[in-house]
């Protein structure tokens, strides 16, 4: 017999989910008072080496306060039930800790609503590889690729259903042993919680079978990239779809066009939060269907921001389906901060009434420099230090982040770059493959 534990979770700057467990039958007290937490935990690199020049050092204490409604309990996963709560980091008196990523997302959502009346629906789409299955090779997108992993797909979707993740689809992707999972759109906080939960579920299910799942942006220099695509769809004051206007370019409503313009304008600096690891830049290359350019495209998989297709067959409601997909992100990004950053960038576009960017509906890497310039399309930063510099140069991106957190991010990322800098591309991919 063993005691059942429940765990409070938080996800940090390097997108690692950490937490503390307590006896599940003592939940009531922990729901009110949380567990202890340490500020300098935020300064860990993915390699478990701390950035020494972080703002806190050995000082300070915080609480990890679980949110009851986020409970996931899966008895059949692992040897004892997986029982988790997404949590906010607070001060000892319960006031929110200014650097808590989940709290920062809540603030971004509230700000969008307060300034514009708009709300957002979001969904994270994940690609990952299941390694160690020892399967024979199978063609991309094939039934054989899916069935050889059976019952991984059905079991995963069953777990997701039980965990309230509202699974939509499981599919074999283009890369070797690569799969993709999609979930129904939800409010942004729920969508980010689901993104974290999905990664935990996939990894634990694969481990239970003696395999290993990796969401790393690249698991080998020549491997197909594992992307995370964030789908976004605005709703108006009455909760009605607010994205579509068939009279306008790309059928984007005026407000959706402004929101997209904000994201495209800030995309170079956004990368510091959405593609925040050295290995992210092996994926963000032209011709990879990832996102090498800051532009808006209609149904173009090389655009950083893509207007997704509308399927009108079977009575599909176009206004409801209308959404854009931010493609320049991956699993080394904190889902809460990535989404909060996108919301703040989109909000700037709405606030300033920015003009919708031109639609780039073919691969931007095939344009000449002069054509790119005429369209106002920029190549995105090609490495992490360029992305960090772009973020620091972008007042909007640093304005909503507490200076303490910006400072910590820079320290962590510099340390990560220093440690990663010792590795060639193959070993870099190996390291991130094992961690993510
Ligand atoms: N694997 C691609 C990426 O790294 C995405 C492919 C797709 O469009 O689904 O983002
Ligand atoms: Mg895909």
pLDDT digits (tens, 9 = 90+) for 384-422: 999 999 999 999 998 999 999 999 999 999 999 999 998
Mutate to test the pocket of ligand 1, among 225, 291, 329 (most ligand atoms within 8 A of CB): 225
How many CA atoms, within 13 angstroms, populate the side-chain half-sphere of residue 298? 12
Over pLDDT 70: what percentage of the chain?
Answer: 100
Mean pLDDT of 35-52: 96
pLDDT confidence bin for 1, thresholds 50/70/90 = confident
Closest CA to 52 of 433, 324, 432, 412: 412
Res 96: pLDDT: 97
Mutate to test the pocket of ligand 1, among 327, 332, 429 (most ligand atoms within 8 A of CB): 327
pLDDT digits (tens, 9 = 90+) for 163-213: 999 999 999 999 999 999 999 999 999 999 999 999 999 999 999 999 999
Q: How far is residue 37's CA from residue 90's CA, in Å, rounded to a whole number?
A: 9
**Range with the poorest average pLDDT among 19-33, 155-169, 284-298:** 284-298
Residues 6+ apart with CB under 8 A from 48: none
In this structure, which ligand is nearest to the CA of 181?
2
Average pLDDT of the chain is 96
How many CA atoms, within 13 angstroms, populate the side-chain half-sphere of residue 379? 16
Sign of CA dihedral 213, 186, 31, 110: positive
pLDDT confidence bin for 77, thresholds 50/70/90 = confident
3-class secondary structure per residue, 8-75: EEEECCCCCEEEEEEEHHHHHHHHHHCEEECHHHHHECCCCCECCCCCCCCCCCEEEEECHHHCEEEC
pLDDT confidence bin for 329, thresholds 50/70/90 = very high
pLDDT at 76 over 90: no
Report which ligand 1 atom has the smallest distance to the Cα of 327.
10
Q: How far is residue 368's CA from residue 297's CA, in Å, rounded to a whole number?
A: 17
Mean pLDDT of 356-379: 93
Q: What's the pTM?
A: 0.97
Instruction: Identify the residues whose C-beta falls under 6 Å from ligand 1.
Output: 127, 224-225, 227, 283, 289-290, 301, 327
Mean pLDDT of 343-356: 98
Question: How many CB atoms sit inside 10 A of residue 184's CB?
Answer: 12
Mean pLDDT of 283-306: 93
Give yes or no for a contact between 269 and 338, defined as CB atoms under 8 angstroms apart. no
Q: Is 212 helix (H, G, I), strand (E, B) or coil?
A: strand
Q: How far is residue 434's CA from residue 216's CA, in Å, rounded to a whole number?
A: 8
Res 33: pLDDT: 97
In this structure, which ligand is nearest to the CA of 175?
1
Mean pLDDT of 313-323: 93
Give yes or no for a contact between 132 and 139, defined as CB atoms under 8 angstroms apart. no
């Amino acid at each position: 017999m063993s005691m059942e534990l429940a765990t409070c979770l938080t996800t940090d700057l390097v997108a690692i989910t950490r937490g503390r467990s307590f006896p599940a039958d003592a939940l009531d007290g922990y729901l009110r008072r949380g567990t202890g937490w340490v500020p300098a935990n935020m300064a860990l690199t993915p390699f478990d080496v701390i950035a020494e020049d972080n703002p806190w050092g050995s000082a300070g204490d915080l609480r990890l306060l679980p949110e009851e409604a986020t409970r996931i309990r899966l008895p059949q996963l692992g040897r004892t039930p997986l029982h988790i709560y997404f949590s906010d980091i607070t001060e000892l008196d319960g006031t929110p800790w200014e650097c808590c990523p989940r709290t920062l997302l809540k603030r971004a959502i509230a700000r969008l609503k307060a300034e514009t009346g708009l709300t957002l629906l979001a969904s994270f789409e994940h690609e990952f590889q299941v390694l160690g299955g020892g399967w024979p090779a199978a063609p991309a997108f094939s039934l054989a690729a899916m069935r050889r992993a059976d019952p991984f797909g059905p079991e995963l979707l069953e777990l997701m259903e039980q965990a309230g993740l509202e699974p939509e689809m499981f599919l074999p992707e283009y890369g070797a042993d690569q799969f993709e999972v999609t979930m129904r759109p939800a409010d942004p906080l729920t969508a980010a919680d689901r993104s974290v939960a999905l990664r935990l579920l996939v990894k634990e299910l694969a481990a239970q079978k003696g395999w290993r799942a990796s969401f790393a942006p690249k698991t080998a220099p020549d491997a197909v990239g594992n992307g995370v695509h964030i789908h976004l769809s605005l709703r108006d004051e009455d909760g009605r779809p607010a994205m579509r206007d068939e009279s306008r370019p790309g059928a984007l409503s005026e407000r959706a066009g402004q929101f997209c313009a904000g994201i495209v304008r800030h995309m170079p600096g956004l990368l510091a939060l959405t593609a925040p690891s050295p290995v992210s830049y092996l994926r963000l290359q032209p011709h990879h269907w990832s996102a090498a350019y800051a532009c808006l495209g209609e149904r173009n998989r090389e655009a950083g921001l893509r207007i997704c297709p509308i399927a009108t067959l079977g009575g599909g409601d176009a206004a409801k389906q209308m959404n854009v997909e931010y493609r320049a992100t991956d699993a080394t990004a904190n889902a809460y901060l990535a989404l909060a950053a996108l919301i703040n960038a989109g909000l700037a576009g709405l606030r300033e009434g920015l003009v919708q960017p031109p639609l780039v509906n073919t691969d931007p890497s095939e344009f000449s420099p002069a054509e790119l310039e005429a369209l106002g399309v920029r190549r995105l930063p090609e490495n992490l230090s360029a992305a960090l510099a772009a973020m620091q140069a972008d007042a909007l991106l640093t304005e909503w982040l507490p200076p303490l957190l910006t400072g910590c991010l820079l320290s962590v990322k510099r340390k990560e770059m220093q440690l990663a800098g010792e590795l060639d591309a193959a070993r870099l991919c190996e390291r991130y493959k094992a961690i993510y």
